[in-house]
Amino acid sequence: MSEMKLSSLNSNFMHNNQIIECITSSSATQSTNGGSVSAMVRKNQATTALLSLEDKVLKPKELVTIMDYFHFNVSCADVYLVLADAKVNTNPIIHYVWLAKRLEEAVDVLKPK
């Protein structure tokens, strides 16, 4: 990636981290009977964050593929939320490398057989 593109991604990543903070803090109090945030809430948090953070980076078809994959594999939704949080992940390149790998994986897993 070019240095300018990396700088732009980093700036976008940091700027949109406020959105993640709002999403995760407002939803963290929602719980199931077991006392933890339900899988559906976590999937929805990840989808909301994805749409907020990646709409300028990914094509619409790629966004939909990742959203479908979050609903197929909740652990990917959980990891996405962690990587999208600049307080936890201080290297946005890791976020984008992970996302690119998951997109490839999602295309393979979700393709009709």
Taking the C-alpha atoms of residue 30 and residue 35, their distance in angstroms, rounded to an integer, is: 9
Return per-residue pLDDT of the chain as tens, 113 residues: 566 665 665 555 555 554 555 554 544 434 434 447 899 999 999 999 999 999 999 999 999 999 999 999 999 999 999 999 999 999 999 999 999 999 999 999 998 87
Domains in the chain: boundaries = 3-27+39-110
Say what the pTM is: 0.69
- Residues in Cβ contact with 12 at an 8 Å cutoff, skipping those fewer than 6 apart: 53, 56, 57
